[in-house]
Amino acid sequence: MDSGVVELAIIGSGFGGLGAGVMAIEQGIDSFVILERAKAVGGTWRDNTYPGCACDIPSHLYSFSFAQNSEWSRSYPAQPEIEEYLERVTDNYRLHSRVRFGFDVAEVRWLQEQTCWSITSHEGDIVLASAVISATGPLSQPATPDFPGLSDFAGEVFHSANWRHDVSLDGKKVGVVGTGASAIQLVPAIADDVEHLDVFQRTPPWVLPRDDRPAPLWRRYLYQWLPFLQRLHRWRIYARQEFLSLAFLGKGKIANAMTERIKQETKTLIDASFPDPEIAAALVPTFKPGCKRLLISNDWYSALAKPNVDVVTASIERVDATGITTSDDRHHELDVLVLATGFAVTDFPSPLTFIGRNGVNLAEHWEDGASTDFGITVSGFPNLWFLAGPGTGLGHNSIVFMIEVQLQQIGRALRYMRSESVASIELRQEVEDASYAELQRRVATTVWASGCSSWYIRENGRVDTIWPGTTTEYWWRARRFAPNRYLMTAGRFGQITPSR
């Protein structure tokens, strides 16, 4: 059984984990490890390789501020380019030697007497760490629907996040379940290859045009030699995305005008491909724009309008060996079934188990609500931080921006602990309660609580995933470490007390 002792353990090697590794280096922490269950870095952008996979945030903003990339090939990067970018960050900051690949974390347990975390893998390997940063990300656990008879299907069935590149779709009858962010990318990418494509729609999305274009070579050279111009472009994109939040948060004339614009742009896209108003009506959402994730695409509706593509609006009743039967008693014969059904973003903190002080299980602590302080720290769990945790999701801007803000606070906390001889810090319960109460009070007035069923909402009806404000506000309020919000234990940080 392998073991190791470090000051800091980072779980995951996507944007959050790699950013945490860079932060550790900048803090002068030599003893840290990045625990990664796979054989390569990249997180979401390593795992999701379905046809058409790309980002819906412009490339110059969907990247680290400290590792700008002048070589983005277009406005919105495709999956291979983002994965390559993360690998390059790993190389540039020499993080490969810090990553322990194949370490699939099962349990993270606080050892009170030793003032450290014991991190155990599914294989039984153990790492002891004075502090832990969980950077598993909200899109790491695919959500698979439990359709009756799904296991009876004789053809190939897989989730879009686990794309089967060994399964050819050429000339096949294919079904895609879902009309979310993954579906609107992969459906246009495969529509011309298949014999027939059934798209099973539960609710139609609001879709905006995608202003995607190749980046000219002269601009890449310009950004390489004058990087401040790229930063200006980055801030221009940020301001534009931030302005979109008014449609989700506000209730005045500007918010109403933006909402109507979103509705009109979607209707314009639909009408261009579906002149028949009866067919078009089935593609128009009935919920408020933003209640479910806003999507961007230039070819979604034109793909649905192809003669070999059908949009199935009747609900799925059951699956059998040859296909799907819907509520209108129609049987849809299929060779391949693709589940573009998103991710379990509300199943905090699954799939990991965190056991804090006094043996408290974090899943039980969060049973009635995923309460945190700015999505970063939790009471009863000393020296533990989350990146892109509960209450920090976005519907309008770059999650990488939020991660960097969180890393600023964590970096300041670690610096404080090392300089002030603090062995452990733990969020005060009253701070957590007040922070969560404020989040719930504010989210109740936003579009995410306006009545639709979405991945933002937990089974108990609470919206624990979204930050109910602008990212500018989040930066201002969460950027600094405030010692008075924590309980502290004196001692030398990083010195693990031997077990008795």
Whether 323 and 356 share a structural domain: no
3-state secondary structure at position 112: coil
Whether 496 maps to a domain, the answer reads no
DSSP 377: B
- Residue ranges making up the domain that contains 276: 150-211+237-339
Q: Which of 305, 339, 373 is the last residue of a domain?
A: 339
Quick one: tokens of 98?
């810090």
Whether 300 and 390 share a structural domain: no
Number of domains composing the chain: 2
Whether 367 and 474 share a structural domain: yes
CA dihedral 281, 287, 289, 292 (to 10 degrees): -110
Whether 317 maps to a domain, the answer reads yes
Q: Which of 308, 339, 370 is the last residue of a domain?
A: 339
Whether 64 maps to a domain, the answer reads no
Whether 460 and 318 share a structural domain: no
DSSP-derived secondary structure for 35-78: EESSSSS-THHHH---TT-B-SS-TTTSS-TTS--TT--BSS-B
DSSP-derived secondary structure for 452-471: ---TTB-TTS-B-SB--S-H
CA of 73: how far to CAs of 78, 85, 231, in Å? 9, 12, 17
* 500 residues of the chain, pLDDT tens digit each: 344 899 999 999 999 999 999 999 999 999 999 999 999 999 999 999 999 999 999 999 999 999 999 999 999 989 999 999 999 999 999 999 999 999 999 999 999 999 999 999 999 999 999 999 999 988 778 888 889 999 999 999 999 999 999 999 999 999 999 999 999 999 999 999 999 999 999 999 999 999 999 999 999 999 999 999 999 999 999 999 998 888 888 677 888 888 899 999 999 999 999 998 888 999 999 988 888 889 999 999 999 999 999 999 999 999 999 999 999 999 999 999 999 998 877 677 778 999 999 999 999 999 889 999 999 999 999 999 999 999 999 988 999 999 999 999 999 999 999 999 999 999 999 999 999 999 999 998 888 887 777 667 776 777 888 999 999 999 999 989 999 999 999 998 877 765 54
User: 306 - beta bridge partners?
Assistant: none
Whether 252 and 327 share a structural domain: yes
Q: Which of 339, 364, 379 is the last residue of a domain?
A: 339
What's 283's domain CATH number?
A: 3.50.50.60
Whether 137 and 157 share a structural domain: no
Q: What is the pLDDT of residue 2?
A: 43
CA distance 71 to 215: 9
CA distance 283 to 299: 14
